[in-house]
Amino acid sequence: MSTEPKISGNQVGAESAGGFSAEERAAMKARAAELKADARRGRAEDKAAADEATMMAKIAEMKEPDRQMAVRLHGIVTEAAPELLPKLYYGQPGWAKAGKVVVFFRSGQDDKERYSTLGFSAQANLDDDGGMWPTSYALRELNDHSAATIAKLVATAAA
């Protein structure tokens, strides 16, 4: 014969049903959410690292001077807007925010053009009050002056 007190069905509370109090269940749910977030963050970091490696491999395949421009541009973009993550965009280097490319580089040599292109997508925050603004720039060389201009544009675009 059992020595535990008998509890009728309508007396069974949340504590006795699962053995945990409401506070304990809430703490377990919070911890489970933290673990899920950590797992997602780990996957996101792995994906970001893989995307960057893929983009750098693409840059390494470029002919000079586009390769050197793309490497320097990657440094400018990541310094001006660290929240933008590397990502291939139509097979060319791009930098994305929340998965959407904001700025990209097109190799002129890959496109058989006389210049490369630095472009900004519709996600870029470059809107001008006059209702008209450039979305791409011809890039034949990347000097200190053009690097400073690009850094300002990228910071504005990513804001």
Q: What would the pLDDT profile of 107-155 be if each residue is shown by its tens digit?
A: 998 888 999 999 999 999 999 888 889 999 999 999 999 999 999 999 9
Which residues are bridge partners to 93 per DSSP? 88
- Angstrom CA distances, 86 to 22, 122, 145, stand at 44, 17, 23
Q: What are phi and psi of 86, to 5 degrees?
A: -60, 140
Name residue, tokens 């693409």.
58
* pLDDT computed for residue 10 by the predictor: 46
User: Given a cut of 50, is residue 7 above it in pLDDT?
Assistant: no
* pLDDT computed for residue 158 by the predictor: 94
* pLDDT computed for residue 41 by the predictor: 58
User: Given a cut of 80, is residue 99 above it in pLDDT?
Assistant: yes
Q: Which amino acid is at 66?
A: D
How far is the C-alpha of 88 from the C-alpha of 63, rounded, in Å?
17
* pLDDT computed for residue 29 by the predictor: 87
> What confidence tier does 49 reach under pLDDT thresholds 50, 70, 90?
confident
When pLDDT is averaged across residues 1-24 and rounded to a whole number, the result is 59
When pLDDT is averaged across residues 8-31 and rounded to a whole number, the result is 68
The mean of the pLDDT values for the chain is 85
